[in-house]
Amino acid sequence: MKHPFLSGLCSVMLLLVLSGCWDHYELNNMAIVSGIAIDAGKHDKYKVTLEVINPGEMTSKKLSGNMPSVVYSYEGKSVVEAIRRINTGIPRKMLYSHIQLVVVSEEIAREGLLSFLDYFESNREFRENVNFVMTHGSPAEDTLKISHPMVRVSSFKIVSQMELGEKEWGSDPMIKLRDFILAWQSDTKEPLLGAIRVKGDVQKGNQITNMRKIEPSALVELAGSGVFHHNQLLGFLSLGDTRNVLWVQGKLKQSVLTFGCGEPGKMGSYNVINSSTKKKVNYTDGKLKIDISISIQSYISFMECKVRLSDNQEISRLQKQIEAYMEDQIKGTVSKVQHKYKADIFGFGDLLDIQQHQQYNKLKSNWSPVFEDADVKVKVTANIRQSGITTDSFLLKAPMVRPENEQEATEPD
């Protein structure tokens, strides 16, 4: 051989080109999966529903009045099997890397059948930071079937809703798959999952006509959250409680507080624009002591009571009202979780691990009673910055006094 190196190299190149490519997939043969829903199956253990995007409908050029996504279900003994066999109905290779939403039905959660999450974690196509929710009062597959005129693919719409819900009011915990798995891994922390439900008529909701009405027939809305013990659902928390949980966890930034301002039947509303939470735990004398201190910045959005907002003392009084209200709320939620569910969704155990490692090691095997027994102290510091672009409200102006016997008819002449 005259040039052994060169011939070797040529044979390598030939080998490459002649033998074919293994991971080569053309886009025409693929379909993007945007959402996956898992229910309990009728004939088999799991029923998996995929929402697949129809790309022609998403770009403005090729719109032809069809639905932007297609939903298909299949049942199987395991989620993996169902996913693989989904091609009995759908003609393309599924691309799972762009999944935005994983929905689990309440049934599955109650029965604790969440072991398929291991598949999601180790498969390279599924992302760990995909949004993970459960349904409350509807089967999971229905949530993927409701269309909406603004965001046409239902998975995308639900995700946008959740993100905004978290930002604007704190109504959704925005749990990702990863958070759930981390909580599962922890010795003491219990998982929490956001919940959604379908309102309205599902049959009408999954048609193109749903998008053409002013008032859609069916809508998916946020419904609080579900508390778990390990992988089993214990119960639900309302939207308000969910917000308080987020507050304790320090994940809440903005929200709105509305409560009575002192005069009967009158309300005041405050926009919380910034809040920060500090937590301390201490285990002494056989009892866990939890200190939660929250400080918030707010401004008054609307005040029905007659309060002079230009007076410093009044502002202080309002601040104290806010503090009292919030402490009440938060203590109430923590108490509820402690006593009704006995599940440490807040992560106080992990905090103890950091602050008193040895003590934690002793207690972690039997954490529920410790958590249930714990002494919780909540301290809120509220700060009212301003009241919008006006100071005193025009509502303060006392109405004119009308003489009583001047009751003229209001009919025109």
Partner 1 sequence: MSGIELEDEKMSQPLQPYAKSCRFVLEEKFGHTTDFCLEEISQSGCLGIICYLKTMVDLDAIQEIAAMLQVDGKGRQFGPLEEEAARAYGSRIFTTMSLQYPATLREVMDHILNGYMVICWDGLHEAIAVPVQGGEQRAVSEPTTQTVVKGPKDSFTESIVTNMSLVRRRIKSEHLRFESMTLGVDTRTSIELLYIEGITNIRIVNEVRERLGRIQTSSILDSGSIEEFITDSNLTPFPLLLSTERPDSIAGGLLEGRTAILVDGTPFALLAPVSIHDFFQTPEDYYLHFYIATFIRWIRYVAFLIALLLPALFVSVMTYHHELIPTNLLINLMAQREGVPFPTVVEAFLMELTFEVLREAGIRMPRAIGQTVSIVGALVIGQAAVEAGIVSNAMVIIVSLTGICNYVSPSYSFASSARLLRFLLIILASVLGLYGTLLGVVIIVAHLTGLRSIGVPYLSSTAPWIMEDQDDVFIRLPMFLNRKRPRLLMPQQVTKQSWPSKLLGRKGGGSN
Partner 2 sequence: MTVPAVEKLSRWQLFVVMVTFELGSALVVGVGNDSRKDAWLALIIGAIAGLPLIWMVSWMLRLYPGQTIYSILKITLGKWIGNLLVIGYVIYFLYLAAYVMRDFIAMMNAAVLPRTPAGIIGFTLMSVVAYIVYLGIETIGRMAEIFAPYMLLFTVAIVLLCLMSGEINLHNLLPVLGDGWHPIIKDVFPAVLGFPIGEMPLILMVLMAYIKRVDKGLGVGMAALGTGTFLLIISIVLQISVLTADGKARASFPLLNVARLISTAEFLERIEPLVVFLMMLGILLKISVFTILGVQGLEAVVQVPYRHFSFPISMIVAFIAIVHAKSFTDHIIKGTRMLPTYFHMPFQVYIPAVLFIILLIKHRPTKGKVGEGT
Q: Using CB distances below 5 to 8 A depending on partner kind, what does residue 6 bind out of partner 2, partner 1, none?
A: none
* Candidate residues 1, 2, 18, 19; the one interacting with partner 2 per rule CB under 8 A: 19
* Candidate residues 1, 18, 214, 354; the one interacting with partner 2 per rule CB under 8 A: 354
Gap between the Cα atoms of 37 and 50, Å rounded = 6
Gap between the Cα atoms of 170 and 244, Å rounded = 8
Closest contact distance (angstroms) between CB of 59 and partner 1 is: 4
β-pair partners for 282: 289
Gap between the Cα atoms of 403 and 407, Å rounded = 9
70 scored as a contact of partner 1 (CB under 8 A):
no
Nearer to partner 1 among residue 31 and residue 220 (C-beta): 31
Q: Using CB distances below 5 to 8 A depending on partner kind, what does residue 15 bind out of partner 2, partner 1, none?
A: partner 2
26 scored as a contact of partner 1 (CB under 8 A):
yes
Gap between the Cα atoms of 371 and 144, Å rounded = 37
Site map 172..191 versus partner 2, x via CB under 8 A: ------x---x--x------
30 scored as a contact of partner 1 (CB under 8 A):
yes
Query: How far is residue 37 from each of residues 4, 47, 104, 228, 235, measured CA to CA in Å?
Result: 58, 8, 6, 19, 20
Nearer to partner 1 among residue 3 and residue 43 (C-beta): 3
Residues 29-88 that bind partner 2 (CB under 8 A): none
* Candidate residues 22, 60, 150, 402; the one interacting with partner 2 per rule CB under 8 A: 22
Neighbouring CB atoms inside 10 A of 294's CB total 22
Gap between the Cα atoms of 187 and 361, Å rounded = 10
95 scored as a contact of partner 1 (CB under 8 A):
yes
409 scored as a contact of partner 1 (CB under 8 A):
no
125 scored as a contact of partner 1 (CB under 8 A):
yes
Closest contact distance (angstroms) between CB of 66 and partner 1 is: 13
Gap between the Cα atoms of 250 and 327, Å rounded = 15
Contact (CB, 8 A) for 135 and 102: no
Gap between the Cα atoms of 283 and 305, Å rounded = 44
* Candidate residues 3, 42, 43, 61; the one interacting with partner 1 per rule CB under 8 A: 61
5 scored as a contact of partner 2 (CB under 8 A):
yes
- In sign, the C-alpha dihedral spanning 230, 234, 235, 237 is negative
Closest contact distance (angstroms) between CB of 6 and partner 2 is: 10
**3-class DSSP state for residue 272?**
strand
Q: Using CB distances below 5 to 8 A depending on partner kind, what does residue 256 bind out of partner 1, partner 2, none?
A: none
Phi (first) and psi of residue 234, to 5 degrees: -100, -45
* Residues in Cβ contact with 11 at an 8 Å cutoff, skipping those fewer than 6 apart: none
310 scored as a contact of partner 2 (CB under 8 A):
no
The tokens describing 371, both together, are 């958590």
Gap between the Cα atoms of 58 and 55, Å rounded = 5
Closest contact distance (angstroms) between CB of 3 and partner 1 is: 12
Residue 322: its H or E element = helix 312-336
Residues within the interface to partner 1 (CB under 8 A): 16-17, 21, 23-28, 30, 32, 34, 53, 55-56, 58-59, 61-62, 95, 97-98, 100, 125
Positions that interact with partner 2 (CB under 8 A): 4-5, 8-9, 12, 15-16, 19, 21-23, 97-98, 124, 127-129, 178, 182, 185, 350, 353-355, 357
